[in-house]
Structure 1
Amino acid sequence: MATVYSMIFKLTSFLSAWLLLVTAAVAEPLPTELRDDPFKLAQAVSKRTFGRINTEQEQLLAQPELLKEIVREELIPYADYRFAAYKVIGQSELKKSSKEQRDRFVEAFKENLIVTYAQLFTEYNGQKVAFLPGALSDENYATVKTLIQEPGRPDISVDFKMRRNKKTGQWLAYDMVAENLSMLSQKEAELRGLIRQQGLDAVTDLLIEKNQTKIEFQSESEEAK
């Protein structure tokens, strides 16, 4: 039987992917005025991403790997994956590592997000997203609040943590908190201990291996397990 966390995770997975990254053409970037506002950015990214999934549904069912490209093109440009990756590594290990090691881990971490969220997008079946009034923690951090709504199920609260990039001044998402459960904290718990025990290079290799996972749609019988 699925745990409470896994149930929440599945119900919110279709929206969580925009946190955080080819088809024929590269997606046009969102206008600057949207990228300068975390609340408008969240709504614009969600609308464009799910619109594309709905439009390309037939191709996706035939070629699930295309979900990776949707994540890469529509979501990753608006995700602060380097900031999240550094949080996972932790300050003590960051100080020990070289730039080459950090860059290699960040790239593997980014690709791991793509694979993870592409697979989660296979759970999307038209749930609705209600955006609630947000809150600026300060001029550089914001929380975008949403409710995931599905007939016959209680609403699920999902908060997206955003930060303003100091170099560009534009907002990027770095974490999702579903019913008080942080995705970033989960990644930290999963990987930080391994980094301390095995080293950054070994964990990077592990992520690279995991990133070869193929995207598959599960049957209803498999989902019920």
Structure 2
Amino acid sequence: MKKWLVMLVAAFSMMLPSLSVAQTVDATNPYALIDGVAENAFSRLKKDKEIYQANPELLRVVVKEELMPYINVRYAAMNVLGPMARKASKEERDQFTDAFYDYLVASYAQILTQYTDQVVTVEPAKSIDEDRSVVSVRVDIADAARLPIRLDFKLRKNGKTEEWQGFDVQVEGVSMLDTKSSEWSGQLRKNGIESVAKELIERAKAPITKDESAS
């Protein structure tokens, strides 16, 4: 768990184009989406840094308001379930999606406790074919505490709204969704979706704390 959190610290730290005033997020372009969400989230962290350091639990609010609206949680959750998603009932799919949402909020809030300045290079925006529904945006991060890291953010376009949402990130070629699917596949098969959903909810209840050892 800690290893993956450290990897995602880098992933979210890429969102540092500028830390001025909040901007409207343009979800119709995946490159603009990453820039807008990043600027708003990290401007907020910088502005109230002392408040969040004193009470890290408040980072859950930042995540819910600044990040989660731009993540396709259900699509990500169904990818984690894999073949089991087709066999599951609607109630089971809904239950797992809700639990996965809570798990992501807690995980991202914990990640944000490790926020530090890094040198980030986001690939230039490219033209996107109208019929293309999935785009990968590459980001390279140079961190004095670690070797440079390559990230590839996966975003998917909603065919009805024409807006993009993130659903996965690859860290040096390793997919977060694939990792979670592998981690939970055995338990899903053995104990079922409801059992795993309940475990995710319990994990999400863990306090958000500053983990100095992961800095």
TM over 0.5: yes
Match of 1:12 among 10, 13, 18: 10
- Checking the alignment, whether the CA contact within 8 Å between 1:108 and 1:208 is kept in structure 2 is yes
Does residue 123 in structure 1 map to residue 114 in structure 2?
yes
- In the aligned structure 1, how far is the partner of 2:8 from the partner of 2:32? 25
Does residue 174 in structure 1 map to residue 146 in structure 2?
no
Identity of aligned residues (%): 33
- In the aligned structure 2, how far is the partner of 1:143 from the partner of 1:172? 11
- In the aligned structure 2, how far is the partner of 1:216 from the partner of 1:117? 12
- Checking the alignment, whether the CA contact within 8 Å between 1:159 and 1:176 is kept in structure 2 is yes
Letter of the structure 2 residue corresponding to residue 123 of structure 1? Q
2:19 equivalent in structure 1: none
Gaps of 5+ in 1: 18-27
Does residue 147 in structure 1 map to residue 140 in structure 2?
yes
- In the aligned structure 1, how far is the partner of 2:41 from the partner of 2:89? 36
SS at match of 2:56: coil
2:154 equivalent in structure 1: 161
Give how far 1:13 is off: 4.4
Give how far 1:95 is off: 2.8
Mapping of residues 1-225 of structure 1, within 5 Å: 9=7, 12-15=10-13, 30-31=24-25, 34-91=26-83, 93-133=84-124, 136=128, 139-151=132-144, 153-219=146-212, 222-223=213-214
TM-score (norm 2): 0.86
Letter of the structure 2 residue corresponding to residue 43 of structure 1? D
Larger CA deviation: 128-137 vs 113-122: 128-137
- Checking the alignment, whether the CA contact within 8 Å between 1:10 and 1:123 is kept in structure 2 is no
| Cα gap change, 1:81 to 1:7, in 2 (>3 Å) | closer
- In the aligned structure 2, how far is the partner of 1:16 from the partner of 1:187? 22
- In the aligned structure 2, how far is the partner of 1:96 from the partner of 1:152? 45
Give how far 1:153 is off: 4.6
Runs of 4+ in 1 over 3 A off after TM superposition: 5-8, 13-17, 28-31, 134-138, 151-154
Alignment root-mean-square deviation, CA? 2.5
Output one character per residue of 1:30-53: Cα deviation in whole Å (capped at 9) or x when no partner: 45xx11000111111111111111
- Checking the alignment, whether the CA contact within 8 Å between 1:134 and 1:145 is kept in structure 2 is no
- In the aligned structure 2, how far is the partner of 1:209 from the partner of 1:162? 28
Give how far 1:128 is off: 3.0
1:25 equivalent in structure 2: none
